[in-house]
Chain A
Amino acid sequence: DVKVTQSSRYLVKRTGEKVFLECVQDMDHENMFWYRQDPGLGLRLIYFSYDVKMKEKGDIPEGYSVSREKKERFSLILESASTNQTSMYLCASSLDPNFKANYGYTFGSGTRLTVV
């Protein structure tokens, strides 16, 4: 089974802190994604990456950056955490873009981040 592991389930940080959220997948997937999920707003894409050292902005990249130095690891960085970044953060990975194998994204269990 493909596994996407997020480093923390729950995290509490102070306003202004630099926050690192780590995500590791174990199935050699090319594509990796970071979403945040908020009640009433659904899943919103922050950043994604199709390959090592590649990154693309999603719908809400402001206040975030990412790093993909190795294929299996995709990190989300909150440069200076703010209270409006309190949310559930979900990492996902996917394989071949043509979905020949008929499967989609594999998500991690999520990190619930609270910024106080």
Chain B
Amino acid sequence: SQKIEQNSEALNIQEGKTATLTCNYTNYSPAYLQWYRQDPGRGPVFLLLIRENEKEKRKERLKVTFDTTLKQSLFHITASQPADSATYLCALDIGNYGQNFVFGPGTRLSVLP
């Protein structure tokens, strides 16, 4: 069956460290993968998109990798800050030229001062 897993429900790290979140999937062949941030009681906010032919994408302190052989994406936040505390969701396209995405369950990140 098709499945998307994100490494853990919750992750605590110390301020200044690098947070690494994992998104693993089975029985999908996404051409695109996205990462979103969601704060409590709000809608998700788009952060980054990476295509299957891109190994890595960066945006400021964020870095995403996409390994289609391992069926895994890693999401890194360097020099993490308490303001980075939120739930992070990965989303895979499930066909139709990237018009339709399915979301993972999310990882709740807490950055401790």
Q: Which residues from chain A sit less than 8 Å from chain B, CB to CB? A: 4, 31, 35, 40, 42-43, 45, 48, 50, 90, 92, 94, 97-99, 102-110, 112
> 14 A-B contacts, Cβ less than 8 Å apart?
A35-B103, A43-B44, A43-B89, A45-B100, A90-B43, A97-B97, A97-B99, A99-B49, A104-B36, A104-B101, A105-B34, A105-B36, A105-B91, A108-B43
Cross-chain contact B46 with A31 (CB below 8 angstroms) = no
- A90 contacts across to B, CB distance below 8 A: 43-44
In the assembled complex, the CB of A49 is this many whole angstroms from the nearest CB of chain B, namely: 11
B89, B97, B102: the one contacting A98 at CB < 8 Å is B97
Q: Chain B nearest CB: distance from A96 CB in Å? A: 9
Q: Is B32 interfacial (CB-CB < 8 Å)?
A: yes
Would A103 and B43 be within 8 Å (CB), given that A43-B89, A50-B99, A97-B98 are in contact? no
Count residues of B near A (Cβ-Cβ below 8 Å): 24
Distance between Cα atoms of A5 and B59 in the complex (Å):
27
Answer whether A42 and B104 are a contact pair too, CB < 8 Å, given A31-B99, A104-B34: yes
Q: B91–A110 contact, CB under 8 A?
A: no
Interface residues of B in 41-90 (CB under 8 A from A): 41-46, 49, 51, 89
Report A16 CB to chain B, min CB distance, Å: 27
Q: Does B27 contact A (CB under 8 A)?
A: no
Closest to A101 in B: B49
Considering residues A92, A107, A108, A109, which has the most beta carbons from chain B within 10 angstroms of its beta carbon? A107
- Once the chains are docked, how many angstroms separate the CA of A43 from the CA of B36? 12
For B51, list chain A residues within 8 Å (CB): 99
Is there a chain A Cβ closer than 8 Å to B1's Cβ? no
Chain A residues near B104 (CB-CB < 8 A): 42
Interface residue? B30 (CB, 8 A): no
11 further interface pairs, Cβ-Cβ under 8 Å (given A99-B51, A102-B49): A4-B43, A42-B103, A42-B104, A43-B89, A45-B102, A97-B99, A103-B49, A104-B46, A106-B46, A107-B43, A110-B43
The 5 closest A-B pairs by CB, nearest first: A107-B43, A104-B46, A43-B103, A97-B99, A42-B105
